[in-house]
Amino acid sequence: MTVNVETLEKLERKITLTLPVETIQAEVDSRLKRLARTVKMDGFRPGKVPMSVVAQRYGYSVQYEVMNDKVGQAFSQAANEAKLRVAGQPTITEKEGAPEGQVAFDAVFEVYPEVKIGDLAEAEVERVSTEVTDEAIDRTVDILRKQRRTFGLRSQDSAAADGDRVTVDFEGKIDGEPFQGGKAEDFQFIVGEGQMLKEFEDAVRGMKVGDSRTFPLAFPADYHGKDVAGKQADFMVTVKKIEAANLPEIDEAFTKSLGIGEGTVEALRDDIRKNLEREVKFRLLARNKTAVMDALLAKSELDLPKSVVQSEIDRMVEGARAELKQRGIKDADKAPIPADVFRPQAERRVRLGLVVAELVRANSLEAKPEQIKAHIEELASSYEKPADVVRWYYGDNRRLAEVEAVVIENNVTEFVLGKAKVSDKAVGFDELMQQQG
């Protein structure tokens, strides 16, 4: 089979496919005969419907199915013959002027690009590292104590201070008019923890039970309440109750309440250190992986298949709609989401996917079964019943594929770090943990 491939643009190609009319008709007749043996129609017994009636009722749809199947097969055969890596679905249109007894179609499609990866020895990558310090463990212990704190009433003449839980009545007005959500009674919050806007906390701090105070408050422009965002309000607040926080002692009862069987402070700190080190490891890996992928893209040249980018955009739009639906947004599936918002991210994903695939192919960086197993076991180790989590991953091919993709990315990261000009930088624990996980 001789295949003539015409180049239209960088990645766009065209193949003309021809099919004998008699081959198509023979398949149509064969399918109609099979259909006639089972089809049910009023006035006829099953299997006794005349072929002329079956053809009249179903001929068009069967012809359409056969044509699709035969053209699809011809396209696949032609693409394989020409050794083309087809990207996306072809656009197939019937062609005028076919030879006698033939039907002709033009198939326009894209092919995957040639990926050129430059000298990775010239790539520059900043690799960060972080230590889990005693101070970080101390802060984690403090957080755990705060989560289990209790509150007791302060004396009548005590002033509200940071860490106290206060109960207040308040009412806010904008231009002298009340607004929705601006009034509450017996409202509780903890001073100094950012639960309220700064002006509100500043006003309450230092007040005593029975005190009232009026103060101005400027809502930020990005405030979640759109009706009041960027506006100035006047509030009046009255303090009704002030409670002091009582933090639990770090003793055997406290540690056992956290599931530490030994009940010692040392065991608690060891458990915290282990958990923090696991979290730090994954965050460092994510940050260093991003740096590697940026360097890899900078050293790569390729054209992007438009059809693959569009498929990725469509997938991201559907994902955004699914998220809106999950949040209870009405008619989320009809929400007007501008596709071009996702284009830069989609292009990066497609570009990165093609570059990584080429690097994996050229350097045998595929995920090995033992690597997948080790990664799953590490993920499972933080759970109460690791064996159940391992079975959960191995029980679903899609979940396994997600782990495999992560392991491949880790292999690529290690490979590039082994070739590139790497500069090491230590970052603080707090800086690392404040980043998006």
Residue 330 has pLDDT above 80, yes or no: no
Question: What per-residue confidence (pLDDT) applies to 436?
Answer: 55
Which CATH code for domain 150-246? Answer: 3.10.50.40
pLDDT category of residue 136 using cuts at 50, 70 and 90: very high
Query: What is the SS3 assignment for the chain?
Result: CCCCEEECCCCEEEEEEEEEHHHHHHHHHHHHHHHHCCCCCCCCCCCCCCHHHHHHHHHHHHHHHHHHHHHHHHHHHHHHHCCCCEEEEEEEEEECCCCCCEEEEEEEEEECCCCEECCHHHCEEEEEECCCCHHHHHHHHHHHHHHCCEEEECCCCCCCCCCCEEEEEEEEEECCEEEEEEEEEEEEEECCCCCCCHHHHHHHCCCCCCCEEEEEEECCCCCCCCCCCCCEEEEEEEEEEEEEEECCCCCHHHHHHCCCCCCCHHHHHHHHHHHHHHHHHHHHHHHHHHHHHHHHHHCEECCCCHHHHHHHHHHHHHHHHHHHHHCCCCCHHHCCCCHHHHHHHHHHHHHHHHHHHHHHHHHCCCCCHHHHHHHHHHHHCCCCCHHHHHHHHHCCHHHHHHHHHHHHHHHHHHHHHHHCEEEEEECCHHHHHHCCC
The residues facing 150 across adjacent strands are 246
Per-residue pLDDT of 382-402, as tens digits, reads 888 999 999 999 999 999 999
> Residue range 248-277: average pLDDT?
87
pLDDT category of residue 437 using cuts at 50, 70 and 90: very low
Query: Which are the contacts of 153, defined by CB distance < 8 A and separation ≥ 6?
Result: 241, 242, 243, 244
What is the C-alpha to C-alpha distance for residues 26 and 24, in angstroms, rounded to an integer? 5
What is the C-alpha to C-alpha distance for residues 253 and 249, in angstroms, rounded to an integer? 9
If one compares 63 and 191, the residue with the highest pLDDT of the two is 191
Domain layout of the chain by residue ranges = 4-111, 150-246, 260-435
Dihedral angle over CA of 382, 384, 385, 386, nearest 10 = 10
pLDDT category of residue 265 using cuts at 50, 70 and 90: confident
Per-residue pLDDT of 90-117, as tens digits, reads 999 988 877 888 888 899 999 999 999 9
What is the C-alpha to C-alpha distance for residues 375 and 66, in angstroms, rounded to an integer? 47
Question: What per-residue confidence (pLDDT) applies to 400?
Answer: 94
Per-residue pLDDT of 21-71, as tens digits, reads 888 889 888 988 888 888 888 778 777 778 888 888 888 888 899 988 988
Angle at 217 between CA 214 and CA 219, to 5 degrees: 155
Question: What per-residue confidence (pLDDT) applies to 1?
Answer: 46
Residue 152 has pLDDT above 70, yes or no: yes
Residue 342 has pLDDT above 90, yes or no: yes
Question: What per-residue confidence (pLDDT) applies to 233?
Answer: 94
Q: How far is CA 261 from the centre of its chain?
A: 37
Hey, what amino acid is at 413? Answer: T
pTM: 0.72
Lowest mean pLDDT across 39-43, 167-171, 361-365: 39-43
> Residue range 329-334: average pLDDT?
76
Lowest mean pLDDT across 41-45, 74-78, 308-312: 41-45
Closest CA to 15 of 144, 80, 116, 107: 107
Share of the chain above pLDDT 70, in %: 99
Instruction: Say if CB 289 and CB 413 are below 8 A apart.
Output: yes
Angle at 309 between CA 303 and CA 313, to 5 degrees: 155
pLDDT category of residue 212 using cuts at 50, 70 and 90: very high
Q: Does the domain at residues 260-435 carry the CATH identifier 1.10.3120?
A: yes
Question: What per-residue confidence (pLDDT) applies to 41?
Answer: 80
Residue 138 has pLDDT above 90, yes or no: yes
Question: What per-residue confidence (pLDDT) applies to 2?
Answer: 56
What is the C-alpha to C-alpha distance for residues 119 and 421, in angstroms, rounded to an integer? 11
> Residue range 344-369: average pLDDT?
94
Q: Six-digit token pair at 219?
A: 């809502």
Q: Which CATH superfamily is domain 4-111 in?
A: Trigger factor ribosome-binding domain (3.30.70.1050)
Residue 313 has pLDDT above 90, yes or no: yes
Share of the chain above pLDDT 90, in %: 62
Question: What per-residue confidence (pLDDT) applies to 239?
Answer: 96
